[in-house]
């Protein structure tokens, strides 16, 4: 009984009491162990006080029976004053420290602390007997696990399960139980990722489950939120939702995650609550990615793929899905500047949903706009989506693709070609195989190119088609080979005896043709091919010819069947395989593709690969391939880029900076000359364009009052009417009204605060923002501040004059919290009417939108000049969240996609307006 006293007092405190505290299973267990009677708990308190007095006497302090009785009386009086049936731990400690401690923090106080540790904590360990009554979450979970034949205290051995909850009732119950324990943090089951077939989602699940000693301890902690798994899971989800949405309201991601967990845990009431909140929040503030995720989740609820649904919830989910689909179509223009394959896949998925829901007219108009004005990748995806929705025919897409090949004559054109093909093939990969009208013009254009023209475009073509999986590229090559009439590789299937007969017949036929003096064509209908060991000519050293057969060209650009290429073409395939490898997805391991791995060794060093690229493709294409390798994460190729001969571009600088962040200082030192050259050239080009927009800002005002330096040009123009001719014929201007330049103050009259989003999708805009800030920092009447933010804010103003140092300091990646960046900017405002705050972001706010809108309203209300840049680059095609941008405009922040020159004009107009 004595060993249970600390546990009883720990749980019976002044906040719960009895019988209200009976709802706490731990308190209930302790009271049952003490006999179930509060009077016996009070008796335990008396024995604890007696033990304390004994410990104090052993330490040499006086503590008699009278003091013990007074301590017990005070503890009981405190309990009665607080409406408790028996003194809890709080009352006991107050009484002990008042009576036995006698107000001495040292000496007797220390002895009392040691005695309290001995009595209330003790040194013994044990566990409650199995015969003691139990209640709460732990016993309920153990009973449910035993019923579902899952690991439990009786059978704790770990298991790995594959569940099919939509087909098996038992698996459905197991899935719900495991999801509830996962939400409660019991540490019982761990889900294993399962991939679906094709683009579909997996309906089965895999789990690793085990009953460990940590599980009952964690169940005791989760038991404060409910005595059944359903109650504990619901309580945990509600508490998480309430805690994370305390500041500014819930985010869209929080609502979706909570809704998904509630549905998986079979909690219909919580599902109904989250659906109601989703109907209010998602249409107005969700990003396109969140809207697509919500549509998938609502579809699963409507089809009863998740257990926590009712007929009313399914009907509400269907209505909400229709509303969110319209919101997603309205937000689609914000995808115009996308440069990731995921953006193309999202566009096609949304187009398919809109077609099913009869939103084709609005979708057709949006796709037409994107096909004209979006980034190359999104343009290609939009064109493919129009073909899939029967808005355009496949021949139109084929003609457009052939035109892309024609215009790929320079670095920008080749990069555009690769991105366009990536968008088309990401959106509709099988389209080229299933639609001959789409493949025909592209085949004709590839076949019609000279060898030099084809090899110049080969890296871009290979990069575009590398979007397809290796198996898809192999199937496309089969389709192309059939249309070209390419000879099949009979050596893979014909027996040797039959091959011998075929070879003899071919030799006899060839001899007969030659005896007649007739020309001997090759397998592709052209002239007799060169010898197998004759190397292909290097670009730039030959006239435009057609020595590469059409089928070999497609083997090169698809990266398949390299063993069937002539010897002169194999170095090209090998050089590009060094960049693109075997590919990703189906067939990446070479299994089932009918293709050997080859015997050629890989390039041992980046230097040898770079030299091979230059000898095959030329210096210009070599830089493009090495730049693509840098974007893919290869840091060894950066040392092969010559700082003096490399072509400066924001794309290359972005790639170099993204890799420089993870380099040791020794390798970074070798990279600095390249970065310094790129930054210097780009800054010089940008400054040349921006300075005219900023002229006149620091010009002294003209005045007729003496005191400043004489303004000779203005004086001459103002006194031209006072011209006199001298006797010798010379003209003299008499300055009756001289014009002087007024002295100007050198301190900064205006403050520009650039608040730059450095999350993962803002690489190019971050580079342009840093370069623009460095140029604007040279304006005498302008004080420029640079704030970089993701989920945290960093003030890099001290480095703004050195763009190289600034770019090396910025680390791109992470989430987005625009409100935090604006809050820091608001702290820098001293004179609102002479402060410019420019936010460069995609506006996909990771925090509550309410906090962001509040910061914007506070800045706009104070008189600060606000501007939101959805993109800051030379193309001006943004990728941003359109719903949030519209709310920012309504709150007082204009939003636009600007080039650095347009931003400089905006700043110059504001500064000039302030001087009028």
Ramachandran angles phi, psi of 508, nearest 5°: -65, -45
Helix axis angle, 268-285 to 229-244, nearest 10°:
20
Bridge partners of 725, per DSSP, are 731
What is the pLDDT, as a whole number, of residue 496? 73
DSSP conformation letters of 385-411: HHHHTTSS-HHHHHHHHHHHHHH--SH
Question: Residue 311's CB: how many other CB atoms inside 10 A?
Answer: 8
Q: Which two tokens stand for residue 539?
A: 């670009």
DSSP conformation letters of 801-854: T-HHHHHHH----S---HHHHHHHHHHH-SSGGGEEEEEES----SS-HHHHHH
The Cα–Cα gap between 252 and 324 comes to 12
Could you tell me where the beta strands, DSSP code E, fall in 134-284? 159-163, 189-192, 205-209
One-letter-per-residue 3-state SS of 425-480: HHHCCCHHHHCHHHHHHHHHHHHHCCHHHHHHHHHHHHHHHCCCCHHHHHHHHHHH
**What confidence tens digit (pLDDT) does each residue in 77-107 have?**
888 888 777 777 778 888 888 888 877 777 7
Classify residue 699 by its DSSP letter. Answer: P
Angle at 656 between CA 651 and CA 658, to 5 degrees: 95
One-letter-per-residue 3-state SS of 735-776: CCCCCEECCCCCCCCEEEEEEEECCCCCHHHHHHHHHHHHHH
Q: Where are the alpha helices (DSSP H) in 559-637?
A: 570-580, 606-617, 619-631
The Cα–Cα gap between 477 and 564 comes to 13
The residues of the chain scoring below 70 in pLDDT are: 1-41, 122-135, 195-201, 246-248, 355-360, 486-494, 520-546, 582-604, 630-646, 649-652, 655-671, 691-705, 707-708, 742-748, 760-761, 812-813, 874, 876, 912-916
**What confidence tens digit (pLDDT) does each residue in 654-691 have?**
766 666 655 566 666 666 777 777 777 777 777 777 76
Are 619 and 578 in contact by the 8 Å Cβ rule? The answer is no
Question: Residue 335's CB: how many other CB atoms inside 10 A?
Answer: 26
Contacts of 263 (CB under 8 A, 6+ apart): 271, 297, 300, 301, 306, 307, 308, 309
What is the pLDDT, as a whole number, of residue 543? 42
The Cα–Cα gap between 156 and 145 comes to 11
Write the burial class of residue 34 (CB in 10 Å: 0-12 exposed, 13-18 middle, 19+ buried).
buried
- CA torsion sign for 139, 145, 147, 149 is negative
Name which of 102, 167, 177, 98 is nearest 137 in CA terms: 177
Ramachandran angles phi, psi of 745, nearest 5°: -75, 145
Q: Which two tokens stand for residue 418?
A: 């690769």
Dihedral angle of Cα 554, 559, 564, 567, to the nearest 10 degrees: 100
Question: Residue 697's CB: how many other CB atoms inside 10 A?
Answer: 18
Report CA-CA distances (Å) from 166 to 568, 575, 860. Answer: 57, 49, 53
Name which of 529, 395, 553, 571 is nearest 481 in CA terms: 553
Helix axis angle, 411-427 to 376-388, nearest 10°:
30
The Cα–Cα gap between 505 and 522 comes to 16
Are 383 and 348 in contact by the 8 Å Cβ rule? The answer is no
| Residue given tokens 């005498």 in the structure block | 780
What is the pLDDT, as a whole number, of residue 531? 42
Question: Residue 66's CB: how many other CB atoms inside 10 A?
Answer: 9
Report CA-CA distances (Å) from 350 to 152, 346, 363, 573, 797. Answer: 45, 6, 9, 37, 42
Name which of 390, 382, 483, 487 is nearest 433 in CA terms: 483
Ramachandran angles phi, psi of 656, nearest 5°: -65, -45
The Cα–Cα gap between 806 and 812 comes to 12
| Residue given tokens 């002239």 in the structure block | 527
Classify residue 782 by its DSSP letter. Answer: E
- CA torsion sign for 684, 688, 693, 696 is positive
Are 176 and 141 in contact by the 8 Å Cβ rule? The answer is no
What is the pLDDT, as a whole number, of residue 102? 78
Are 772 and 643 in contact by the 8 Å Cβ rule? The answer is no
Report CA-CA distances (Å) from 227 to 55, 231, 267, 270. Answer: 39, 7, 15, 18
The Cα–Cα gap between 575 and 629 comes to 12
């Amino acid at each position: 009984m004595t060993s249970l006293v600390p546990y009883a007092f720990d749980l019976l405190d002044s906040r719960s009491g009895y019988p209200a505290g009976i709802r706490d299973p731990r308190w209930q267990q302790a009271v049952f162990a003490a006999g179930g009677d509060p009077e016996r708990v009070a008796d335990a308190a008396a024995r604890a006080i007696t033990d304390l007095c004994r410990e104090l006497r052993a330490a040499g302090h006086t503590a008699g029976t009278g003091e013990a009785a007074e301590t017990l009386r005070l503890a009981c009086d405190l309990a009665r004053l607080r409406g408790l049936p028996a003194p809890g731990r709080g009352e006991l400690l107050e009484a002990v420290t008042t009576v036995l401690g006698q107000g001495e923090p040292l000496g007797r106080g220390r002895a009392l602390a040691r005695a309290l540790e001995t009595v209330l904590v003790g040194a013994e360990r044990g566990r409650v007997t199995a015969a003691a009554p139990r209640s709460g979450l732990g016993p309920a979970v153990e009973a449910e696990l035993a019923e579902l034949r899952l690991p439990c205290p009786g059978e704790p051995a770990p298991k790995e399960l594959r569940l099919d909850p939509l087909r098996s009732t038992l698996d459905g119950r197991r899935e719900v139980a495991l999801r509830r324990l996962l939400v409660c943090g019991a540490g019982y089951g761990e889900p294993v990722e399962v991939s679906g077939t094709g683009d579909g989602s997996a309906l089965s699940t895999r789990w690793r489950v085990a009953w460990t000693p940590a599980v009952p301890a964690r169940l005791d902690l989760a038991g404060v939120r409910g005595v059944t798994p359903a109650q504990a899971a619901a309580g945990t989800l509600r508490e998480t939702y309430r805690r994370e949405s305390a500041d500014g309201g819930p985010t869209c991601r929080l609502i979706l995650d909570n809704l998904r967990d509630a549905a998986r845990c079979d909690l219909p009431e919580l599902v109904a609550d989250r659906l109601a909140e989703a109907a209010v929040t998602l249409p107005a503030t969700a990003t396109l990615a969140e809207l697509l995720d919500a549509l998938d989740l609502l579809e699963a609820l409507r089809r009863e793929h998740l257990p926590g649904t009712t007929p009313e919830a399914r009907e509400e989910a269907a209505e909400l899905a229709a509303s969110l689909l319209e919101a997603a179509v309205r937000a689609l223009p914000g995808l115009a500047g996308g440069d990731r394959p995921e953006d193309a896949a999202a566009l096609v998925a949304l187009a398919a949903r809109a077609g099913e829901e009869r939103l084709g007219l609005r979708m057709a108009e949006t796709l037409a706009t994107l096909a004209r004005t979006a980034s190359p990748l999104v343009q290609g995806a939009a064109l493919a989506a129009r073909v899939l929705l029967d808005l355009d025919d496949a021949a139109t897409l084929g003609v457009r693709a052939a035109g892309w090949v024609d215009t790929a004559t320079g670095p920008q054109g080749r990069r555009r070609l690769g991105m366009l093909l990536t968008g088309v093939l990401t959106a509709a990969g099988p389209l080229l195989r299933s639609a001959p009208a789409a493949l025909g013009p592209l085949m004709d254009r590839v076949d019609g190119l000279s060898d030099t023209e084809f090899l110049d475009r080969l890296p871009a073509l290979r990069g575009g088609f590398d979007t397809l999986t290796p198996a898809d590229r192999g199937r496309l090559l089969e389709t192309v080979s059939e249309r070209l009439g390419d000879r099949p590789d009979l050596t893979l299937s014909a027996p040797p005896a039959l091959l011998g007969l075929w070879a003899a017949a071919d030799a006899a036929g060839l001899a007969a043709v030659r005896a007649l003096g007739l020309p001997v064509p090759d397998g592709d209908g052209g002239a007799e091919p060169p010898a197998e060991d004759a190397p292909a000519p290097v670009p730039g050293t030959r006239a435009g010819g057609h020595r590469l057969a059409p089928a070999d060209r497609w083997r090169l650009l698809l990266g398949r069947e390299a063993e069937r290429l002539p010897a002169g073409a194999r170095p090209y395939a090998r050089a590009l395989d060094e960049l693109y490898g075997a590919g990703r997805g189906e067939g990446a391991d070479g299994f089932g593709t009918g293709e050997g791995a080859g015997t050629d060794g890989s390039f041992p060093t980046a230097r040898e690969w770079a030299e091979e690229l230059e000898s095959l493709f030329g210096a210009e294409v070599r830089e493009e391939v090495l730049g693509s390798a840098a974007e893919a994460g290869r840091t060894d190729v950066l040392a092969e880029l010559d700082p003096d001969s490399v072509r400066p571009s924001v794309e290359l600088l972005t790639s170099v900076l993204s890799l420089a962040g993870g380099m040791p200082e020794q390798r970074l030192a070798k990279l600095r000359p390249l970065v310094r050259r790129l930054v210097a050239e780009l800054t010089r080009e940008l400054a040349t364009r921006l300075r005219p927009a900023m002229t006149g800002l620091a010009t002294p005002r003209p005045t007729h009052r003496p005191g400043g330096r004489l303004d000779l040009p203005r004086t001459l123009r103002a006194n031209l009417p006072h011209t006199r001719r001298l006797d010798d014929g010379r003209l003299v201007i008499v300055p009756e009204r001289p014009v002087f330049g007024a002295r100007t103050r050198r301190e900064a009259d205006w403050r520009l605060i650039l608040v730059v989003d450095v999350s993962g999708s803002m690489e190019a805009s971050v580079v342009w923002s840093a370069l623009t800030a460095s140029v604007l920092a040279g304006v005498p009447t302008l004080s420029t501040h640079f704030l970089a933010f993701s989920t945290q804010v960093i003030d890099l103003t001290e480095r703004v004059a050195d763009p190289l140092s600034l770019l090396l300091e910025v680390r791109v990646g992470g989430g987005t919290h625009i409100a935090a960046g604006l809050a820091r900017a608001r702290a820098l405002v001293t004179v609102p009417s002479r402060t410019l705050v420019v936010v460069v972001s995609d506006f996909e706010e990771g925090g509550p939108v309410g906090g962001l809108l509040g910061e914007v309203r506070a800045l706009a209300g104070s008189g600060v000049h606000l501007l939101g840049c959805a993109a800051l680059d030379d193309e001006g095609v943004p990728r941003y969240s359109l719903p949030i941008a519209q709310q920012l405009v309504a709150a007082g922040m204009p939003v636009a996609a600007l080039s650095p020159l347009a931003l400089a004009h905006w700043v110059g107009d504001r500064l000039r307006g302030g001087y009028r």
